[in-house]
């Protein structure tokens, strides 16, 4: 009897051992989690651009001559720095130069005629005064006096006509000079020649109305830049001129440059279906501290709408549907789902108004399989709270 009971006891022990072993090898492994502690800090409410913005030069001129013609002079090359007023291009204009020289000579001739006529008119005027005075005393006849006065008036009229001829000649010189200037391109400001479309002896044709053509010379002022970026139409009413803005440039990853909103467009763009945007202009706060920029760089902006400098916060990636988080319990080694009330937020941090206490550990890798309420968990190697 005792031997039989011993055998049954042995069987029970073996079965229990097998069951325990089976549970041990089939039990779920703890989920590895990445956590961050709930802490106090700065949280900003921001608005970001919907598509990449663009760095633009404060001044950029796409220049072309006012008339068509053959390029006779091209003293600059792409990449050259030029000063305001420096000549960039000149078309063949020998005919206009000849007309200008002729017009100037005609003006000199008209001035000489004017001087001669006006001198005679002055002499005739003095003679008429003298005879008029003598006529009052009877020393000069009335006929002679009348003839002298008439001649003086006629010469004075000729003097006025000669003076008008000089003015007409000067106007003709100005007209020829204006036409001559249309054959020349000069720099309207200091800058860099970005692009030249044309070579010596090539023919330049002005753009027809409504048909844009490449400019002869593209001039960029590299001393000043700003950013234009589109924001969603829903965010536009919350943005005002003067709001602080952070600018990120793909060309300088890891760096952010401060600026301010200087302009908000007064109309909505609908370049893409179901994506209406408003362009915002941002000027840099410290342009002298900027790295060398190029017009056309892509840029992103974060417009700061509201700031809470010292509030309870967690990384935004830990938030589920704007109302839940997973909290790691280090004692129980479990994940607990917690309902929270959030405040302002941005891509980095979200304000916590209730539901969490400072020091608690929230799970960041919430999209990892196996992370559910009540799941066993352990800290991922190398990720400590």
Q: How far is CA 237 from CA 50, 230, 266, 326, 346, in A?
A: 15, 13, 11, 35, 18
Contact (Cβ atoms closer than 8 angstroms) between residue 31 and residue 376: yes
SS3 of the chain: CHHHHHHHHHHHHHHHHHHHHHHHHHCCCCEEECEEECEEEEEEEEEECCCCEEEEECCEEEECCCCCEEEEECCCCCCCEECCCCEEEEECCHHHHHHHHHHHHHHHHHHHHHHHHHHHHHHHHHHHHHHHHHHHHCCCCHHHHHHHHHHHHHHHHHHHHHHHHHHHHHHHHHHHHHHHHCCEEECCCCEEEEEECCCCCCEECCCCCCCCCCCCEEEECCCCEEEEEEEECCCHHHCCCCCEEEEEEHHHCCCEEEEEEEEECCCCEEEECCEEEEEEEEEECCHHHCCCCCCCCEEEEEEEEEEEEEEEEEEHHHCECCCEEEEEECCCCEEEEEECEEEEECCCEEEEEECCCCCCEEECCCCCCCCCCCCEEEECCCCCC
Q: How far apart are CA 109 and CA 303, in angstroms?
A: 69
Could you tell me which CATH number the domain at 66-91+184-219 has? 2.40.50.100
Structure confidence by residue, pLDDT tens digits, 224-246: 999 999 999 999 999 999 999 99
For the stretch 112-115, contacts whose Cβ atoms lie closer than 8 Å and that sit 24 or more positions apart, written own/partner, are 113/162, 113/165, 114/159, 114/162, 114/163, 114/165, 114/166
Q: What is the rounded end-to-end Cα distance, in angstroms, of the chain?
A: 61
pLDDT at 150: 85
**Cα separation, 301 vs 232, whole angstroms:** 13
Which CATH code is given to the segment(s) 53-57+223-307? 2.40.30.170
Q: Which two tokens stand for residue 64?
A: 């072309």
- 70, 202 Cβ separation under 8 angstroms: yes
Separation of alpha carbons 236 and 230, rounded Å: 10
Rounded-to-integer distance, Cα 334 and Cα 314, Å: 19
Q: Kindly state the tokens that stand for 222.
A: 């590299």
Q: What is the pLDDT of residue 7?
A: 63
Count Cα neighbours of 276 within 13 Å in the Cβ-side half-sphere. Answer: 8
| pLDDT of the residue at 122 | 86
Question: If we measure between CA atoms, which residue out of 6, 100, 56, 343 comes closest to residue 224?
Answer: 56
Contact (Cβ atoms closer than 8 angstroms) between residue 185 and residue 198: no
- Quote the pLDDT of residue 378: 87
**Cβ of 263: how many Cβ atoms within 10 Å?**
13
Confidence at residue 23, expressed as pLDDT on a 0 to 100 scale: 43
The class that CATH gives domain 31-43+310-379 is: mainly beta
Residue ranges, the chain, pLDDT below 70: 1-28, 208, 210, 272-274, 381-385
Q: How far is CA 243 from CA 33, 280, 324, 348, 350, in A?
A: 39, 11, 32, 20, 21
């Amino acid at each position: 009897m005792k031997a039989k009971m011993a055998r049954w006891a042995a069987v029970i022990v073996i079965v229990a051992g097998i069951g325990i072993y089976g549970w041990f090898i089939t039990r779920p492994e703890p989920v590895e989690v990445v956590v961050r502690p709930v802490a106090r800090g700065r949280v900003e409410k921001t608005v970001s651009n919907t598509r990449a913005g663009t760095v633009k030069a404060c001044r950029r001129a796409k220049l072309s001559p006012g008339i068509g013609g053959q390029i006779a002079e091209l003293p600059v090359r792409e990449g050259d720095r030029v000063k305001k007023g420096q000549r960039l291009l000149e078309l063949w204009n020998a005919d206009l130069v000849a007309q200008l020289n002729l017009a100037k000579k005609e003006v000199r001739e008209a001035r000489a005629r004017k001087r001669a006529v006006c001198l005679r008119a002055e002499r005739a005027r003095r003679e008429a005064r003298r005879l008029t005075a003598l006529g009052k005393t009877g020393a000069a006849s009335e006929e002679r006096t009348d003839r002298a006065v008439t001649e003086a008036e006629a010469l004075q009229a000729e003097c006025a006509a000669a003076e008008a001829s000089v003015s007409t000649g000067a106007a003709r010189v100005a007209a020829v000079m204006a036409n001559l200037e249309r054959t020349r391109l000069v720099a309207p400001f200091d800058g860099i020649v970005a692009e030249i479309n044309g070579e010596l002896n090539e023919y330049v044709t002005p753009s027809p109305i409504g048909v844009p053509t490449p400019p002869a010379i593209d001039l960029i002022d590299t001393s000043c830049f700003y950013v234009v970026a589109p924001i969603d139409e829903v965010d536009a009413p919350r943005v005002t001129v003067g709001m602080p803005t952070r600018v990120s440039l793909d060309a300088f990853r890891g760096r952010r440059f401060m600026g301010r909103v200087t302009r908000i467009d007064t109309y909505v763009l609908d370049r893409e279906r179901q994506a209406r945007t408003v362009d915002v202009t941002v000027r840099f706060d410290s342009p002298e501290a900027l790295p060398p920029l190029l017009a056309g760089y892509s840029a992103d902006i974060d417009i700061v709408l509201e700031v809470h400098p010292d509030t309870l916060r967690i990384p935004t990636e830990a938030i589920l549907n704007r109302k839940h988080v997973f909290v790691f319990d280090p004692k129980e080694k479990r994940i607990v789902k917690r309902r929270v009330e959030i405040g302002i937020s941005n891509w980095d941090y979200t304000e916590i108004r209730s539901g969490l206490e400072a020091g608690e550990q929230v799970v960041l890798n919430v999209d990892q399989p196996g992370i559910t309420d009540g799941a066993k968990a352990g800290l991922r190697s190398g990720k400590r709270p």
